[in-house]
Structure 1
Amino acid sequence: MNTATPARQIEPETRAPILNTVDRVCELCFGLFMALTFVGAVKAVTAGEDAGYKMFLTALGCNLAWGLADAVMYLVRTLADRGQRLKLAVTVQREQDQAVSVRALRDALPATLESLVEDADLERIRARLAGASTLPPRANFVRGDFVGALGIFLLVVLGTFPVALPFLFIADLKAALIASRLLTLVMLFIAGFALGRYSGAGAIRAGFVMTALGVLLTMAIIALGG
Protein backbone atom coordinates (compact mmCIF):
# COMPACT_ATOMS: atom_id res chain seq x y z
CA MET A 1 0.00 0.00 0.00
CA ASN A 2 1.40 3.36 -1.01
CA THR A 3 1.22 6.16 1.50
CA ALA A 4 2.19 9.71 0.79
CA THR A 5 4.94 11.07 2.93
CA PRO A 6 4.19 14.63 4.01
CA ALA A 7 6.85 17.24 3.48
CA ARG A 8 9.01 17.51 6.56
CA GLN A 9 9.68 20.86 8.10
CA ILE A 10 13.21 21.86 8.97
CA GLU A 11 13.67 21.09 12.62
CA PRO A 12 14.78 23.95 14.86
CA GLU A 13 18.54 24.26 15.09
CA THR A 14 19.79 22.10 17.91
CA ARG A 15 22.21 24.11 19.99
CA ALA A 16 25.33 22.47 21.23
CA PRO A 17 26.47 23.36 24.73
CA ILE A 18 27.06 27.10 24.84
CA LEU A 19 30.74 26.60 25.53
CA ASN A 20 32.43 23.24 25.24
CA THR A 21 35.68 22.39 26.99
CA VAL A 22 37.88 23.76 24.21
CA ASP A 23 35.86 26.98 24.01
CA ARG A 24 36.03 27.53 27.76
CA VAL A 25 39.76 26.90 27.97
CA CYS A 26 40.53 29.04 24.94
CA GLU A 27 38.43 31.96 26.15
CA LEU A 28 40.07 31.75 29.56
CA CYS A 29 43.55 31.57 28.03
CA PHE A 30 42.87 34.57 25.81
CA GLY A 31 41.94 36.57 28.88
CA LEU A 32 44.95 35.32 30.81
CA PHE A 33 47.34 36.14 27.95
CA MET A 34 45.91 39.65 27.93
CA ALA A 35 46.24 39.91 31.70
CA LEU A 36 49.81 38.61 31.66
CA THR A 37 50.73 41.17 29.02
CA PHE A 38 49.05 43.88 31.06
CA VAL A 39 50.82 43.12 34.32
CA GLY A 40 54.08 42.75 32.41
CA ALA A 41 53.83 46.43 31.51
CA VAL A 42 52.91 47.57 35.01
CA LYS A 43 56.48 48.61 35.75
CA ALA A 44 55.88 51.68 33.62
CA VAL A 45 53.24 52.93 36.04
CA THR A 46 54.39 55.64 38.40
CA ALA A 47 54.15 54.42 41.99
CA GLY A 48 52.02 56.32 44.48
CA GLU A 49 50.04 55.86 47.65
CA ASP A 50 47.09 54.33 45.84
CA ALA A 51 49.03 52.77 42.96
CA GLY A 52 47.82 49.28 43.87
CA TYR A 53 44.18 50.35 43.93
CA LYS A 54 44.58 52.13 40.60
CA MET A 55 46.19 49.05 39.11
CA PHE A 56 43.33 46.90 40.38
CA LEU A 57 40.74 49.17 38.76
CA THR A 58 42.75 49.37 35.55
CA ALA A 59 43.18 45.60 35.36
CA LEU A 60 39.50 45.05 36.12
CA GLY A 61 38.49 47.58 33.47
CA CYS A 62 40.75 45.88 30.95
CA ASN A 63 39.16 42.51 31.74
CA LEU A 64 35.67 43.98 31.40
CA ALA A 65 36.55 45.50 28.03
CA TRP A 66 38.08 42.23 26.82
CA GLY A 67 35.07 40.22 27.97
CA LEU A 68 32.64 42.62 26.30
CA ALA A 69 34.56 42.58 23.01
CA ASP A 70 34.77 38.79 23.06
CA ALA A 71 31.04 38.46 23.78
CA VAL A 72 30.12 40.80 20.94
CA MET A 73 32.38 38.95 18.51
CA TYR A 74 30.74 35.68 19.60
CA LEU A 75 27.37 37.11 18.56
CA VAL A 76 28.82 38.31 15.26
CA ARG A 77 30.32 34.88 14.51
CA THR A 78 27.10 33.11 15.51
CA LEU A 79 24.91 35.24 13.25
CA ALA A 80 27.35 35.00 10.34
CA ASP A 81 27.55 31.20 10.62
CA ARG A 82 23.78 30.90 10.87
CA GLY A 83 23.32 33.18 7.88
CA GLN A 84 25.75 31.11 5.84
CA ARG A 85 23.88 27.89 6.65
CA LEU A 86 20.55 29.51 5.80
CA LYS A 87 21.91 30.80 2.50
CA LEU A 88 23.06 27.28 1.61
CA ALA A 89 19.66 25.81 2.53
CA VAL A 90 17.79 28.39 0.44
CA THR A 91 20.13 27.84 -2.51
CA VAL A 92 19.61 24.08 -2.38
CA GLN A 93 15.86 24.44 -2.00
CA ARG A 94 15.50 26.76 -5.00
CA GLU A 95 17.98 25.05 -7.32
CA GLN A 96 16.26 22.95 -9.99
CA ASP A 97 19.35 21.00 -10.99
CA GLN A 98 19.88 18.27 -8.41
CA ALA A 99 23.53 17.84 -9.34
CA VAL A 100 24.22 21.51 -8.70
CA SER A 101 22.53 21.26 -5.31
CA VAL A 102 24.56 18.22 -4.34
CA ARG A 103 27.74 20.02 -5.41
CA ALA A 104 26.82 23.02 -3.28
CA LEU A 105 26.34 20.74 -0.28
CA ARG A 106 29.65 19.01 -0.92
CA ASP A 107 31.48 22.33 -1.21
CA ALA A 108 30.15 23.26 2.24
CA LEU A 109 31.60 20.14 3.87
CA PRO A 110 34.78 20.41 5.93
CA ALA A 111 37.77 19.04 4.03
CA THR A 112 38.20 16.26 6.59
CA LEU A 113 34.68 14.95 5.94
CA GLU A 114 34.43 15.36 2.19
CA SER A 115 35.91 11.97 1.36
CA LEU A 116 33.68 10.24 3.92
CA VAL A 117 30.35 11.49 2.58
CA GLU A 118 28.84 9.92 -0.52
CA ASP A 119 26.73 11.75 -3.06
CA ALA A 120 23.81 9.53 -2.04
CA ASP A 121 24.03 10.94 1.49
CA LEU A 122 24.04 14.48 0.14
CA GLU A 123 21.12 13.67 -2.13
CA ARG A 124 19.03 12.67 0.89
CA ILE A 125 19.86 15.99 2.51
CA ARG A 126 19.02 17.83 -0.72
CA ALA A 127 15.68 16.06 -0.97
CA ARG A 128 14.82 16.93 2.60
CA LEU A 129 15.67 20.59 2.04
CA ALA A 130 13.75 20.64 -1.23
CA GLY A 131 10.67 19.28 0.54
CA ALA A 132 10.89 21.62 3.51
CA SER A 133 7.77 23.73 3.82
CA THR A 134 9.35 26.58 5.75
CA LEU A 135 12.70 28.27 6.04
CA PRO A 136 13.28 31.42 8.07
CA PRO A 137 13.46 34.54 5.88
CA ARG A 138 16.70 35.63 7.45
CA ALA A 139 19.18 34.64 10.11
CA ASN A 140 18.19 35.97 13.51
CA PHE A 141 19.46 35.78 17.04
CA VAL A 142 17.77 33.49 19.54
CA ARG A 143 17.79 33.77 23.29
CA GLY A 144 20.48 31.13 23.63
CA ASP A 145 22.88 33.32 21.64
CA PHE A 146 22.73 36.03 24.28
CA VAL A 147 23.07 33.45 27.03
CA GLY A 148 26.22 32.24 25.29
CA ALA A 149 27.57 35.78 24.96
CA LEU A 150 26.90 36.40 28.65
CA GLY A 151 28.66 33.14 29.51
CA ILE A 152 31.74 34.22 27.55
CA PHE A 153 31.72 37.65 29.21
CA LEU A 154 31.51 36.17 32.70
CA LEU A 155 34.11 33.51 31.92
CA VAL A 156 36.66 36.05 30.73
CA VAL A 157 36.00 38.56 33.51
CA LEU A 158 35.71 36.13 36.40
CA GLY A 159 38.45 33.86 35.07
CA THR A 160 40.98 36.69 34.95
CA PHE A 161 39.68 38.58 38.01
CA PRO A 162 42.07 36.80 40.43
CA VAL A 163 45.00 38.23 38.47
CA ALA A 164 43.95 41.73 39.54
CA LEU A 165 43.32 40.90 43.21
CA PRO A 166 46.96 41.12 44.41
CA PHE A 167 47.00 44.83 43.53
CA LEU A 168 44.10 45.35 45.90
CA PHE A 169 45.36 43.33 48.88
CA ILE A 170 49.15 43.68 48.68
CA ALA A 171 50.45 47.14 49.49
CA ASP A 172 53.88 46.67 47.93
CA LEU A 173 53.46 47.14 44.19
CA LYS A 174 56.44 44.95 43.30
CA ALA A 175 55.18 42.10 45.47
CA ALA A 176 51.69 42.50 44.01
CA LEU A 177 53.15 42.29 40.52
CA ILE A 178 54.99 39.06 41.35
CA ALA A 179 51.89 37.54 42.95
CA SER A 180 49.76 38.53 39.95
CA ARG A 181 52.20 36.94 37.54
CA LEU A 182 52.38 33.75 39.57
CA LEU A 183 48.58 33.52 39.74
CA THR A 184 48.37 33.97 35.99
CA LEU A 185 50.93 31.24 35.33
CA VAL A 186 49.16 28.86 37.72
CA MET A 187 45.83 29.49 35.98
CA LEU A 188 47.44 28.99 32.58
CA PHE A 189 48.81 25.67 33.79
CA ILE A 190 45.35 24.62 35.01
CA ALA A 191 43.81 25.65 31.69
CA GLY A 192 46.42 23.70 29.75
CA PHE A 193 45.98 20.71 32.07
CA ALA A 194 42.22 20.69 31.40
CA LEU A 195 42.73 21.02 27.65
CA GLY A 196 45.35 18.26 27.59
CA ARG A 197 43.13 15.89 29.55
CA TYR A 198 40.19 16.62 27.27
CA SER A 199 42.18 16.10 24.06
CA GLY A 200 44.26 13.17 25.30
CA ALA A 201 47.49 15.06 24.63
CA GLY A 202 48.79 14.62 28.18
CA ALA A 203 47.42 16.83 30.93
CA ILE A 204 50.64 17.72 32.74
CA ARG A 205 52.62 18.27 29.56
CA ALA A 206 49.86 20.47 28.12
CA GLY A 207 49.80 22.46 31.36
CA PHE A 208 53.51 23.24 31.13
CA VAL A 209 53.26 23.97 27.42
CA MET A 210 50.42 26.45 28.00
CA THR A 211 52.39 28.14 30.78
CA ALA A 212 55.47 28.43 28.59
CA LEU A 213 53.33 29.70 25.73
CA GLY A 214 51.92 32.41 27.96
CA VAL A 215 55.37 33.57 29.00
CA LEU A 216 56.76 33.54 25.45
CA LEU A 217 53.71 35.23 23.97
CA THR A 218 53.82 37.97 26.59
CA MET A 219 57.53 38.57 25.99
CA ALA A 220 56.88 38.81 22.25
CA ILE A 221 53.96 41.22 22.66
CA ILE A 222 55.90 43.49 25.01
CA ALA A 223 58.95 43.38 22.73
CA LEU A 224 56.74 44.49 19.84
CA GLY A 225 55.49 47.42 21.89
CA GLY A 226 52.23 45.89 23.12
Structure 2
Amino acid sequence: MVQLGKSRRLLNPTERAAEILFGLIMALTFTCSISVANGRQMEIRQLLIGAVGCNLAWGIVDAIMFLIGVLAQKSRNKAIFDAIQNSDKDEAGKYLADILPPVVSSVILPEELEQIRIKLSDLPNTTGKVRLSARDIMKAIGIFLLIFLSTLLVAVPFLFIHNSIFALRISNLIAIVMMFLCGWSVARYVGFSTWLMGIAMVVVGVLLVFVTIALGG
Protein backbone atom coordinates (compact mmCIF):
# COMPACT_ATOMS: atom_id res chain seq x y z
CA MET A 1 0.00 0.00 0.00
CA VAL A 2 1.37 3.39 -1.01
CA GLN A 3 1.86 5.86 1.82
CA LEU A 4 0.23 9.12 0.79
CA GLY A 5 0.10 12.54 2.34
CA LYS A 6 2.70 15.04 3.39
CA SER A 7 5.36 13.51 5.60
CA ARG A 8 7.00 15.25 8.54
CA ARG A 9 9.97 12.91 8.38
CA LEU A 10 13.33 14.46 7.61
CA LEU A 11 14.17 11.77 5.04
CA ASN A 12 11.73 9.68 3.04
CA PRO A 13 12.19 5.88 2.90
CA THR A 14 13.97 6.04 -0.46
CA GLU A 15 16.50 8.56 0.82
CA ARG A 16 17.05 6.59 4.02
CA ALA A 17 17.52 3.33 2.12
CA ALA A 18 20.06 4.92 -0.22
CA GLU A 19 22.14 6.29 2.66
CA ILE A 20 22.00 3.03 4.64
CA LEU A 21 22.90 0.97 1.57
CA PHE A 22 25.83 3.27 0.88
CA GLY A 23 27.09 2.88 4.44
CA LEU A 24 26.66 -0.90 4.34
CA ILE A 25 28.59 -1.24 1.09
CA MET A 26 31.45 0.82 2.45
CA ALA A 27 31.54 -1.21 5.68
CA LEU A 28 31.27 -4.60 3.96
CA THR A 29 34.25 -3.87 1.72
CA PHE A 30 36.29 -3.85 4.94
CA THR A 31 34.62 -6.61 6.95
CA CYS A 32 34.64 -9.05 4.04
CA SER A 33 38.43 -8.67 3.98
CA ILE A 34 38.62 -10.10 7.50
CA SER A 35 38.37 -13.63 6.11
CA VAL A 36 41.93 -13.27 4.83
CA ALA A 37 43.21 -11.74 8.06
CA ASN A 38 43.79 -15.19 9.59
CA GLY A 39 41.69 -14.21 12.57
CA ARG A 40 44.45 -12.17 14.22
CA GLN A 41 42.92 -9.62 16.56
CA MET A 42 45.37 -6.85 15.64
CA GLU A 43 44.54 -7.10 11.93
CA ILE A 44 40.82 -7.33 12.66
CA ARG A 45 41.05 -4.25 14.88
CA GLN A 46 42.88 -2.33 12.15
CA LEU A 47 40.24 -3.30 9.59
CA LEU A 48 37.42 -2.20 11.88
CA ILE A 49 39.14 1.12 12.57
CA GLY A 50 39.53 1.56 8.83
CA ALA A 51 35.85 0.77 8.21
CA VAL A 52 34.62 3.15 10.89
CA GLY A 53 37.03 5.90 9.82
CA CYS A 54 36.10 5.54 6.16
CA ASN A 55 32.37 5.78 6.82
CA LEU A 56 32.90 8.62 9.28
CA ALA A 57 34.68 10.58 6.54
CA TRP A 58 32.14 9.73 3.84
CA GLY A 59 29.26 10.50 6.17
CA ILE A 60 30.68 14.00 6.64
CA VAL A 61 31.31 14.40 2.90
CA ASP A 62 27.82 13.21 1.98
CA ALA A 63 26.20 15.52 4.54
CA ILE A 64 28.15 18.53 3.29
CA MET A 65 27.37 17.73 -0.35
CA PHE A 66 23.70 17.47 0.59
CA LEU A 67 23.80 20.97 2.08
CA ILE A 68 25.53 22.32 -1.03
CA GLY A 69 22.82 20.73 -3.15
CA VAL A 70 20.11 22.28 -0.99
CA LEU A 71 21.66 25.73 -1.35
CA ALA A 72 21.91 25.29 -5.11
CA GLN A 73 18.27 24.20 -5.37
CA LYS A 74 17.06 27.06 -3.18
CA SER A 75 19.04 29.54 -5.27
CA ARG A 76 17.51 28.13 -8.45
CA ASN A 77 14.01 28.28 -6.97
CA LYS A 78 14.53 31.90 -5.96
CA ALA A 79 15.82 32.78 -9.42
CA ILE A 80 12.77 31.16 -11.04
CA PHE A 81 10.42 32.89 -8.60
CA ASP A 82 12.02 36.28 -9.29
CA ALA A 83 11.87 35.65 -13.04
CA ILE A 84 8.15 34.82 -12.86
CA GLN A 85 7.39 37.96 -10.84
CA ASN A 86 9.42 40.20 -13.15
CA SER A 87 8.25 38.73 -16.47
CA ASP A 88 5.17 39.37 -18.55
CA LYS A 89 2.25 36.95 -18.69
CA ASP A 90 3.45 34.83 -21.63
CA GLU A 91 7.07 34.54 -20.50
CA ALA A 92 6.07 33.71 -16.92
CA GLY A 93 3.76 31.00 -18.26
CA LYS A 94 6.70 29.43 -20.09
CA TYR A 95 8.76 29.44 -16.89
CA LEU A 96 5.97 27.67 -15.05
CA ALA A 97 5.49 25.07 -17.77
CA ASP A 98 9.23 24.32 -17.74
CA ILE A 99 9.50 23.75 -13.99
CA LEU A 100 6.40 21.58 -13.67
CA PRO A 101 6.76 17.80 -14.00
CA PRO A 102 6.18 16.69 -17.62
CA VAL A 103 3.08 14.67 -16.72
CA VAL A 104 1.56 17.78 -15.09
CA SER A 105 2.57 20.32 -17.76
CA SER A 106 1.12 18.06 -20.47
CA VAL A 107 -2.41 18.25 -19.02
CA ILE A 108 -2.55 21.64 -17.31
CA LEU A 109 -4.52 24.30 -19.15
CA PRO A 110 -3.22 27.81 -19.97
CA GLU A 111 -5.92 29.26 -17.72
CA GLU A 112 -4.65 27.18 -14.82
CA LEU A 113 -1.08 28.29 -15.48
CA GLU A 114 -2.27 31.88 -15.40
CA GLN A 115 -3.96 31.34 -12.03
CA ILE A 116 -0.72 29.95 -10.63
CA ARG A 117 1.22 32.89 -12.07
CA ILE A 118 -1.16 35.40 -10.50
CA LYS A 119 -0.90 33.76 -7.08
CA LEU A 120 2.89 33.68 -7.30
CA SER A 121 3.00 37.32 -8.40
CA ASP A 122 0.92 38.30 -5.38
CA LEU A 123 3.42 36.75 -2.99
CA PRO A 124 5.89 39.14 -1.31
CA ASN A 125 9.21 39.36 -3.12
CA THR A 126 12.01 37.66 -1.18
CA THR A 127 15.04 39.89 -1.47
CA GLY A 128 17.03 38.22 1.31
CA LYS A 129 19.87 35.80 0.83
CA VAL A 130 19.31 32.09 0.41
CA ARG A 131 19.97 30.34 3.72
CA LEU A 132 19.95 26.87 5.13
CA SER A 133 17.10 26.12 7.52
CA ALA A 134 17.24 24.14 10.75
CA ARG A 135 15.43 21.33 8.92
CA ASP A 136 18.16 21.27 6.26
CA ILE A 137 20.81 20.94 8.97
CA MET A 138 18.83 18.15 10.65
CA LYS A 139 18.59 16.31 7.34
CA ALA A 140 22.35 16.55 6.88
CA ILE A 141 22.89 15.22 10.40
CA GLY A 142 20.45 12.40 9.65
CA ILE A 143 22.40 11.47 6.51
CA PHE A 144 25.65 11.39 8.46
CA LEU A 145 24.15 9.23 11.22
CA LEU A 146 22.60 6.76 8.77
CA ILE A 147 25.94 6.15 7.06
CA PHE A 148 27.95 6.04 10.28
CA LEU A 149 25.56 3.91 12.35
CA SER A 150 25.15 1.36 9.56
CA THR A 151 28.90 0.74 9.92
CA LEU A 152 28.67 0.26 13.67
CA LEU A 153 25.90 -2.33 13.38
CA VAL A 154 27.97 -4.38 10.95
CA ALA A 155 31.10 -4.04 13.12
CA VAL A 156 29.44 -4.96 16.45
CA PRO A 157 29.82 -8.78 16.05
CA PHE A 158 33.60 -8.43 15.81
CA LEU A 159 33.66 -6.60 19.14
CA PHE A 160 31.92 -9.38 21.08
CA ILE A 161 32.68 -12.58 19.14
CA HIS A 162 36.32 -13.73 19.19
CA ASN A 163 35.89 -16.28 16.39
CA SER A 164 36.45 -14.03 13.38
CA ILE A 165 34.79 -16.38 10.88
CA PHE A 166 31.63 -16.71 12.98
CA ALA A 167 31.63 -12.96 13.64
CA LEU A 168 31.90 -12.35 9.89
CA ARG A 169 28.87 -14.56 9.24
CA ILE A 170 26.82 -12.73 11.87
CA SER A 171 27.98 -9.39 10.46
CA ASN A 172 26.97 -10.40 6.94
CA LEU A 173 23.60 -11.62 8.22
CA ILE A 174 22.99 -8.26 9.90
CA ALA A 175 23.88 -6.49 6.64
CA ILE A 176 21.53 -8.71 4.61
CA VAL A 177 18.66 -8.12 7.05
CA MET A 178 19.27 -4.36 6.92
CA MET A 179 19.29 -4.39 3.11
CA PHE A 180 16.06 -6.38 3.06
CA LEU A 181 14.38 -3.98 5.49
CA CYS A 182 15.50 -1.04 3.35
CA GLY A 183 13.88 -2.64 0.31
CA TRP A 184 10.75 -3.43 2.32
CA SER A 185 10.48 0.20 3.46
CA VAL A 186 10.96 1.55 -0.07
CA ALA A 187 8.36 -0.88 -1.45
CA ARG A 188 5.75 0.30 1.03
CA TYR A 189 6.55 3.90 0.11
CA VAL A 190 6.20 3.42 -3.66
CA GLY A 191 3.54 0.69 -3.70
CA PHE A 192 5.63 -2.27 -4.90
CA SER A 193 5.73 -5.83 -3.58
CA THR A 194 7.54 -5.67 -0.23
CA TRP A 195 9.10 -9.13 -0.50
CA LEU A 196 10.27 -8.65 -4.09
CA MET A 197 11.75 -5.24 -3.36
CA GLY A 198 13.42 -6.54 -0.19
CA ILE A 199 15.04 -9.43 -2.04
CA ALA A 200 15.99 -7.16 -4.94
CA MET A 201 17.67 -4.73 -2.55
CA VAL A 202 19.70 -7.57 -1.03
CA VAL A 203 20.78 -8.81 -4.48
CA VAL A 204 21.72 -5.31 -5.64
CA GLY A 205 23.56 -4.60 -2.39
CA VAL A 206 25.58 -7.82 -2.51
CA LEU A 207 26.46 -7.28 -6.17
CA LEU A 208 27.62 -3.74 -5.45
CA VAL A 209 29.81 -5.00 -2.60
CA PHE A 210 31.43 -7.56 -4.93
CA VAL A 211 31.95 -4.93 -7.63
CA THR A 212 33.45 -2.49 -5.11
CA ILE A 213 35.85 -5.11 -3.77
CA ALA A 214 36.77 -6.27 -7.28
CA LEU A 215 37.63 -2.70 -8.26
CA GLY A 216 39.84 -2.31 -5.21
CA GLY A 217 37.37 -0.29 -3.13
Please name the residue that 2:158 is paired with.
167
Please name the residue that 2:197 is paired with.
206
Q: 1:220 aligns with which of 189, 205, 211?
A: 211
Residue 35 (str. 1) matches residue 2 (str. 2): no
Q: 1:88 aligns with which of 80, 87, 93?
A: 80
Q: Is the 8 A contact 2:62 2:143 kept in 1?
A: yes
| Alignment map for 1:61-80 (pairs within 5 Å) | 61-80=53-72
Question: 1:49-107: per-residue Cα shift (whole Å, max 9, x none)?
Answer: 42333233222222212221221122112111111110000111111x21011101111
Shift of 1:40: 2.9
More helix by share: 2
Please name the residue that 2:3 is paired with.
none
| Alignment map for 1:91-170 (pairs within 5 Å) | 91-95=83-87, 97-170=88-161
Residue 180 (str. 1) matches residue 174 (str. 2): no
2: CA distance, partners of 1:198 / 1:132: 33
Question: 1:118-144: per-residue Cα shift (whole Å, max 9, x none)?
Answer: 222221222223233331333211121
Task: Using the aligned pairs only, state the percent identity.
Answer: 36
Q: Which structure 2 residue ranges, 5 or more long, are not aligned?
A: 1-5
Please name the residue that 1:9 is paired with.
none
2: CA distance, partners of 1:145 / 1:203: 30
2: CA distance, partners of 1:139 / 1:189: 39
Shift of 1:188: 0.7
2: CA distance, partners of 1:173 / 1:30: 24
Q: Which has the larger radius of gyration?
A: 1
Distance 1:131 1:102, change over 3 A: same
Task: Count residues with an aligned counterpart.
Answer: 212
Shift of 1:29: 1.6
2: CA distance, partners of 1:101 / 1:15: 30
Counterpart secondary structure, 1:165: helix
Q: Is the 8 A contact 1:40 1:218 kept in 2?
A: no
Q: Is the 8 A contact 1:56 1:165 kept in 2?
A: no
Q: Is the 8 A contact 1:52 1:170 kept in 2?
A: no
Question: 1:173-208: per-residue Cα shift (whole Å, max 9, x none)?
Answer: 333333222211121111112222332211111111
* Amino acid across the alignment from 2:158: F
TM-score (norm 1): 0.83
1: CA distance, partners of 2:188 / 2:151: 22
Residue 24 (str. 1) matches residue 16 (str. 2): yes
